[in-house]
Amino acid sequence: MTKRLRYLILAVLALAGAAFAFWYSLFAGHDLPQSTWHPAVEKNVVNEPITPIPLEIMLDQRKVALGQRLFNDTRLSHDNTISCASCHNLSRGGEDGLPRSIGIAGAEGGINAPTVFNSGFNFRQFWDGRAATLEDQIDGPVQHPKEMGASWPEVIAALEKDGGYRDDFAALYGAGIKRETVKDAIATFERSLITPNAKFDRFLRGEKNSLDGEEYAGYQLFKELGCISCHQGMNVGGNMYEKLGLVENYFAQRGNVQEVDFGRYNLTGKPEHLYEFRVPSLRNVALTAPYFHDASASTLEQAVAIMGKYQLGVELRDAEIAILVKFLNTLTGEYPETQRAGVNK
- The three-state secondary structure class of 61 is helix
Residue 345 lies in a domain: no
Q: CB–CB of 294/110 below 8 Å?
A: no
CATH number (domain holding residue 313): 1.10.760.10
Burial class (CB in 10 A: 0-12, 13-18, 19+), 276: buried
Strand ranges (DSSP E) for 251-301? 276-278
Q: Per the structure, how many domains does the chain have?
A: 2
Over residues 98-102, the mean pLDDT reads 97
pLDDT at 140: 96
For the chain, the straight-line distance linking the first and the last C-alpha, in angstroms and rounded, comes to 58
Domain co-membership, 135 together with 218 = no
36: pLDDT strictly greater than 60: no
Phi-psi region of 328 (alpha: psi -120 to 50; beta: other; left: phi over 0): alpha
User: Do 70 and 170 fall within a single domain?
Assistant: yes
| pLDDT at 208 (0 to 100) | 86
The residue among 167, 193, 219 that closes a domain is 193
The residues annotated as belonging to the active site are: 147
Q: Is residue 250 part of a domain?
A: no
Residue 116 structural domain = 58-193
- Whether residues 108 and 183 fall in one domain: yes
Q: Could you tell me if 34 and 114 lie in one domain?
A: no
* pLDDT tens per residue across span 141-152: 999 999 999 999
Average pLDDT over all residues of the chain: 89
**Do 70 and 164 share a structural domain?**
yes
pTM summary value? 0.86
Number of H helices, E strands in the chain: 13, 4
- Asked if the structure places residue 257 within a domain, the reply is no
Phi and psi of 63, rounded to 5°? -70, -35
Express each pLDDT in 161-200 by its tens digit.
999 999 999 999 999 999 999 999 999 999 999 999 999 9
Residue 19's pLDDT band, with cuts at 50, 70 and 90, is very low
pLDDT digits (tens, 9 = 90+) for 257-282: 999 999 999 999 999 999 999 999 99
Sorting pLDDT into bands at 50, 70 and 90, what band is 39?
very low
Please report whether residue 220 resides in a domain: yes
Q: Is residue 266 part of a domain?
A: no
> Residue 174 falls within a domain, yes or no?
yes
Same domain, 22 and 83: no
User: Is 262 within 8 Å of 274 (Cβ atoms)?
Assistant: yes
- Are 21 and 111 contained in the same domain? no
Q: Taking the CB of residue 319, how many other CB atoms lie within 10 A of it?
A: 11
Average pLDDT of span 193-211: 96
Are residue 299 and residue 186 in the same domain, yes or no? no
Same domain for 217 and 302: yes
pLDDT (tens digit, 9 = 90+) per residue, 276-293? 999 999 999 999 999 999
- Do residue 166 and residue 68 come from a single domain? yes
The answer to whether residue 268 is domain-embedded is no
Co-location of 22 and 107 in the same domain? no
**In this structure, are 205 and 298 located in the same domain?**
yes
Asked if the structure places residue 343 within a domain, the reply is: no
Mean local confidence (pLDDT), 96-103: 96
CB 110 within 8 A of CB 87: no
Write the pLDDT tens digit of every residue in 40-89: 346 668 799 999 999 999 999 999 999 999 999 999 999 999 999 999 99
Asked if residue 343 has pLDDT above 60, the reply is: no
Q: pLDDT over 70 for what percent of the chain?
A: 84
